[in-house]
Amino acid sequence: MIKTVRGVIKGLGYAVDGYIGAFREDRHFRINLSLSLTGTLLSLIFLDGCTRLILALVNWLVLAFELVNTAVERAVDTATTERLPTAKLSKDAAAAAVLTVGLFALTCDILILLPAILRRL
């Protein structure tokens, strides 16, 4: 049991290191973190019930995808310094995934959150 708890704590430490590393080294991560925090905070303030949780989840999915994108970019950069078409596609596809989720989050924020904010003003 103690060994399992130590393993979980060690794993959490790696995850925290991932957050810290992405925050320090990736400008897009910092941008998406501020947007996700803002969207989540506004959702918690202006929405009710499940809608607030769903919108918060959508906003945090952008951050999760950005972390995966950061990992893909670093892995490709570590694997090769050549300009290979497959390396470019890997990085571009990961960035496209972030963009796709980001556009979905923006659409949800505009359609759901913005009207709720405007009603309260």
Alpha-helical segments (H) within 1-121: 2-25, 27-46, 49-79, 85-108, 114-120
Active site residue 82: no
State the Cα–Cα distance between residues 24 and 57, nearest whole angstrom.
24
Of the candidates 25, 66, 73, 82, the residue annotated as catalytic is 66
CB atoms closer than 10 angstroms to residue 64: 14
- Catalytic residue positions, numbered: 66
